């Protein structure tokens, strides 16, 4: 990354990266939490137990604040393809435009139609339709994830295209493009990771209430569902989806795999470095402690197999920030392993009936919720830094893709604007969600008497926003 | 096929203008039609749970543009860089003000977000109006199909133009007027009580004010783009658009004089559709006109994606469209009826 002030490609990359990483803090919770809402609403319909409805009402409010920030920060993403990446849009818009457009038609319309009704419309919709609204929002958010991952998978592993007479790309086979094997594996990996975020947040709130001795029924519900889903999703992130993703990278982006692992020299029985710092100038990994053969096994399924090294490729084909890529990847792996151990222990404790009284474990669970956000972020940094120096892997370089008409000052100005605006949004988000969690799930259950006449529930209340 | 997709893309943009335009209008009039905190919540509630569904039409328009006319999207969005980023920031602020304004029942909190709401909606109406003016006037496209414009140059409409000049500013003023009238007509339909009475009164004045503005920008348009009318008279869509506009005016007058609010609001929608359809059809097939030399203009036929892209999009788009309309009808029916000042009347905000 040529991080000089005068490099226009850097600033367009920085802006896209920043707005995207920030945006994705919100949809990962949306996509994870949506299925908790569907599950609890379904349980409420099936058992008639009001505690499930209380859980839905409480989490729908948290969901709503989160969703709103996700929506407003998501709109700039699509438009930046044109504003900052005009070169790339001209080149590949004929292909990736398909999924960008489909995302609006199939996912955004679905989500946006039902989300308001999910959060505030329980009495207007009735119980069955309220369940359908939850399902619609969950499906919409996952469809949106699918179309974006197909778009990203095309950049990682382009298929289904043809090269037109003017040198740009056009769609050739929509089915091949949509069913890109890279996209399917990435979808499984990414959606499991979103479920990890959702379950850690649900668990953390359950732990918080338990430690404070509040809302015992609700807290137990959150802890049980959160830890169970958390364990399952953490396992799915690693295997099979993470494993398959690594094999995919080994097969199609051998240089990237070498850079992720700091493998400057290729060889058989290649190891995974548990510890070590890549030294790009000297082209070696400093102070390594390696697990021999592990990388060969992960990449190709046998300990003996050959793994390519960076020295086999010209330096201008290397990812342009190998250190950041290496650390992002290793941090993701480390956090992923911690998630499995932590959630397995929590599920075991809960099964033995000891979780509620295990104060230190509750503290850990309460404070662990930022970790999946970090893991998701460094996971995406691994994917996107690993794709460099290409925008469409092997076809189109990042340095050709940015908008040549922009002056550097324009982009720096808008970067600063986005940083400032998003800082305000972040403060606002934390304040409102913190306030919602502080008020708890049982605040005004009486005001939400379902099925009563509109006029009857119209009693003055301290807060009319429910 | 390319003409059909030109129509589809235009349709999505027009749908966005009539759907979110009423929110812009309601937002601009927010302080004038609603005086008490309760009335201000009523205006927000009248925008309903579907405001973000309205905004999706803009995102859908952007998506369709990348899919079908990628080169137009690349040229226009990078050329309008700062203006477009400003629009994005305003959309963010507007969305946040709707979502969080009602969260805390506090005068200061709500007063602040009401201010953000009004300010962002005003700026959005101005920016979208100026953008429409820019599309009609053209931009300084070079031979590679690129341009970049300052906010203003010498306020002239030929050669090296800026985002704002005497023509685009008057289109922006017209946009503010007609969207405010549209919003007032919507609020008159969707609310009751004092907000309804004030909105209905404002709607009449605003629609009357729109007439001279419309005459003004029509005359101006002849001077700015003398090449357009000659081609437009041979385009039947322009005549249909004009006919729709004329019928809508009659409907609007009859709606207001007989106090049929639904009729007035439908007329308001059709009026905007008619105007924009006429405008869109009259510049066809040029999607972005060059003020430097006509050879640099971007024509729909030259910049469309390949035939396969248009064909496959023609298969999935109608399905997505039908589903989107189905969701809309389902939710709209649940939220039918007028919004009163009484809290939770709509179960929303």
Contact A405 B60 (CB under 8 A): no
Whether A307 shows a pLDDT value over 60: the answer reads: yes
Q: Which residues of B touch A464 (CB under 8 A)?
A: 41, 102, 105, 343-344, 349
Contact A100 B67 (CB under 8 A): yes
B283-324 confidence digits (pLDDT tens): 888 888 888 888 888 888 888 888 889 999 999 999 999 999
pLDDT at position A449 over 60: no
Distance of CA A434 to the CA centre of its chain: 22
Interface test with B, best of A62, A70, A83 (most B CBs within 10 A): A83
**What is the reported pLDDT for B173?**
95
Distance, CA of A453 to CA of B312 (rounded, Å): 48
Interchain CB contact of A416 with B (< 8 Å): no
Residue A337 pLDDT exceeds 80: yes
Q: pTM here?
A: 0.91
Question: What's the average model confidence in pLDDT over A294-309?
Answer: 87
At residue A8, the pLDDT reads 83
ipTM metric: 0.90
Contacts of B111 (CB under 8 A, 6+ apart): none
Closest chain B residue to A67 measured between Cα atoms? B99
Say yes or no to pLDDT of A58 above 90. yes
**Closest C-alpha among A23, A32, A25, A31 to residue A79:** A23
Q: Identify the pLDDT of residue B342.
A: 63
Q: How many CA atoms lie within 13 A of A436 on its CB side?
A: 22
| Averaged pLDDT of chain A | 89
- Cα(A462)–Cα(A464) distance, integer angstroms: 7
Q: Which of B84, B93, B323 sits opposite A79 (nearest CB)?
A: B84
Is A413 an interface residue toward B (CB < 8 Å)?
yes
Q: What is the pLDDT of residue A444?
A: 52
H or E segment and range at residue A279: strand A272-279
Provide the residue-wise pLDDT of chain B in tens; the chain has 349 residues. Answer: 888 999 999 999 999 999 999 999 999 999 999 988 888 888 888 887 788 889 999 999 999 999 999 989 999 999 899 999 999 999 999 999 988 887 888 888 888 999 999 999 999 999 999 999 998 888 888 888 888 888 888 887 787 888 888 999 999 999 999 999 999 999 999 888 899 999 999 999 999 999 999 999 988 888 888 888 888 888 888 999 999 999 999 999 998 888 888 999 999 999 999 999 998 888 888 888 888 888 888 888 888 888 889 999 999 999 999 999 999 898 888 887 778 776 554 444 4
Q: Which of A64, A124, A405 sits opposite B79 (nearest CB)?
A: A405
Across the range A175-200, mean pLDDT stands at 96
Q: In angstroms, rounded to a whole number, what is the distance separating the alpha carbons of residues A28 and B222?
A: 51
What's the number of CA atoms in the CB half-sphere (13 Å) around residue B4? Answer: 9
CB A369 within 8 A of CB A201: yes
The pLDDT, as a whole number, for residue A3 is 52
pLDDT in tens, A244-284: 999 999 899 989 999 998 888 888 888 888 888 888 888 88
Query: Residue A408 pLDDT more than 60?
Result: yes
pLDDT at A4 over 70: no
Residues 64-83 of B with CB under 8 A from A: 64-68, 70-71, 73-82
Count Cβ atoms below 10 Å from residue B111 Cβ, excluding itself: 12
A138-147, A392-401, A406-415, A455-464: segment of lowest average pLDDT: A455-464
Judge whether A461 is closer than 8 Å to chain B, CB to CB: yes
At residue B306, the pLDDT reads 87
Query: A114 and B327 in contact by Cβ < 8 A?
Result: yes
Q: Encoding tokens for residue B135?
A: 């599309």
> Lowest mean pLDDT: which of A37-46, A312-321, A437-446, B60-69?
A437-446
C-alpha pair distances (Å), B144 with each of A401, B21, B72, B80, B306:
15, 34, 12, 16, 19
Coil vs helix vs strand at A289? strand
Between A12-21, A100-109, B233-242, the lowest mean confidence (pLDDT) is in B233-242
| A460 contacts in chain B (CB < 8 Å) | 343
């Amino acid at each position: 990354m040529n991080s000089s002030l005068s490099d226009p490609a850097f600033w367009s990359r920085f802006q896209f990266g920043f707005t995207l990483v920030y945006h994705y803090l919100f949809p990962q919770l949306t996509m994870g939490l949506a299925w908790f809402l569907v599950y609890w609403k379904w349980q409420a319909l099936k058992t008639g137990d009001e505690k499930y409805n209380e859980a839905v009402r409480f989490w729908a409010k948290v969901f709503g604040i989160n969703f709103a920030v996700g929506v407003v920060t998501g709109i700039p993403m699509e438009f930046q393809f044109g504003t900052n990446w005009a070169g790339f849009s001209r080149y590949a818009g004929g292909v990736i435009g398909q999924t960008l457009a489909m995302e609006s038609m199939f996912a955004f319309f679905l989500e946006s139609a039902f989300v308001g009704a999910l959060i505030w419309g329980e009495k207007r919709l009735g119980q069955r339709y309220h369940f359908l609204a939850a399902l619609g929002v969950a499906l919409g958010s996952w469809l949106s994830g699918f179309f974006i991952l197909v778009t990203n998978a095309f950049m990682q592993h382009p298929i289904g295209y043809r090269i037109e007479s003017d040198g740009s790309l056009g769609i050739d086979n929509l089915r091949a493009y949509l069913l890109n094997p890279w996209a399917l594996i990435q979808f499984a990996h990414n959606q499991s990771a979103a479920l990890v975020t959702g379950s850690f947040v649900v668990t953390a709130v359950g732990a918080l209430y338990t430690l404070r001795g509040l809302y015992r029924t609700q807290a137990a519900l959150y802890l049980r569902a959160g830890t169970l889903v958390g364990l399952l999703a953490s396992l799915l992130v690693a295997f099979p989806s993470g494993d398959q993703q690594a094999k995919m990278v080994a097969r199609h982006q051998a240089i990237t795999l070498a850079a992720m692992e700091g493998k400057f020299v290729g060889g058989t029985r290649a190891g995974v470095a548990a510890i070590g710092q890549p030294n790009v100038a000297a082209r070696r990994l400093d102070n390594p402690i390696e697990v021999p053969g592990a990388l060969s096994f992960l990449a190709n399924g046998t300990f003996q197999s050959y793994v390519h090294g960076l020295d086999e490729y010209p330096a201008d084909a290397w990812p342009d920030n190998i250190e950041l890529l290496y650390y992002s990847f290793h941090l993701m792996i480390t956090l992923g392993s911690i998630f499995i151990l932590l959630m397995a222990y929590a599920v075991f404790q809960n099964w033995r009936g000891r979780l509620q009284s295990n104060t230190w474990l509750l503290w850990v669970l309460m404070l662990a919720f930022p970790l999946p956000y970090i893991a998701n972020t460094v996971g995406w940094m691994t994917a996107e830094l690993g794709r460099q120096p290409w925008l469409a892997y092997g076809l189109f370089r990042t340095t050709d893709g940015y908008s040549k008409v922009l002056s550097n000052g324009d982009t720096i100005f808008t970067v600063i604007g986005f940083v400032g605006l998003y800082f305000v949004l972040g403060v606002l988000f934390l304040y409102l969600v913190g306030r919602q969690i502080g008020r708890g799930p049982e605040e005004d259950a009486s005001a939400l008497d379902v099925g009563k006449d509109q006029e009857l529930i119209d009693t003055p209340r301290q807060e009319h926003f429910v | 096929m390319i003409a059909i997709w030109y129509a589809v893309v235009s349709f999505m943009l027009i749908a966005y203008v009539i759907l979110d335009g009423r929110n812009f209008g309601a937002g601009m009039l927010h302080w004038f039609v609603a005086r008490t905190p309760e009335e201000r919540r009523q205006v927000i509630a009248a925008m309903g749970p579907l405001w973000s569904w309205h905004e999706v039409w803009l995102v859908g328009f952007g998506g369709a543009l990348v899919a079908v006319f990628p080169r137009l999207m690349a040229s226009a969005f990078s050329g309008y860089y700062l203006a477009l980023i400003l629009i994005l920031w305003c959309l963010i602020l507007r969305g946040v003000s709707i979502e969080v304004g009602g969260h805390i029942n506090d005068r200061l909190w709500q007063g602040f977000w009401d201010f953000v709401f009004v300010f962002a909606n005003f700026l959005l109406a101005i920016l979208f109006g100026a953008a429409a003016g820019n599309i009609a006037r053209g931009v300084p496209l070079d031979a590679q199909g690129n341009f970049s414009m300052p906010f203003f140059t010498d306020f002239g409409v030929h050669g090296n133009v800026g985002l704002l000049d005497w023509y685009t500013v008057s289109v922006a003023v017209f946009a503010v007027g007609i969207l405010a009238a549209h919003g007032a007509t919507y609020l008159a339909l969707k609310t009751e009580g004092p907000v309804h009475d004030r909105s209905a009164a404002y709607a009449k004045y605003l629609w009357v004010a729109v007439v001279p503005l419309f005459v003004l920008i029509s005359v101006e348009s002849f001077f700015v783009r003398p090449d357009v009318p000659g081609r437009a008279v041979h385009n039947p869509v322009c005549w249909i658009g004009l006919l729709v506009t004329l019928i809508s005016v009659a409907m609007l007058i009859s709606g207001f004089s007989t106090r049929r609010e639904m009729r007035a609001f439908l007329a308001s929608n059709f009026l905007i559709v008619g105007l924009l359809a006429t405008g869109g059809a009259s510049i066809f097939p040029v999607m972005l006109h060059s003020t430097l030399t006509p050879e640099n203009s971007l024509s729909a036929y030259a910049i469309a994606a390949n035939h396969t892209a248009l064909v496959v999009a023609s298969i999935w788009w109608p399905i997505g469209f039908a589903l989107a309309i189905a969701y809309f009808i389902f939710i709209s029916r649940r939220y039918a009826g007028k919004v009163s000042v009484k809290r939770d009347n709509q179960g929303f905000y």
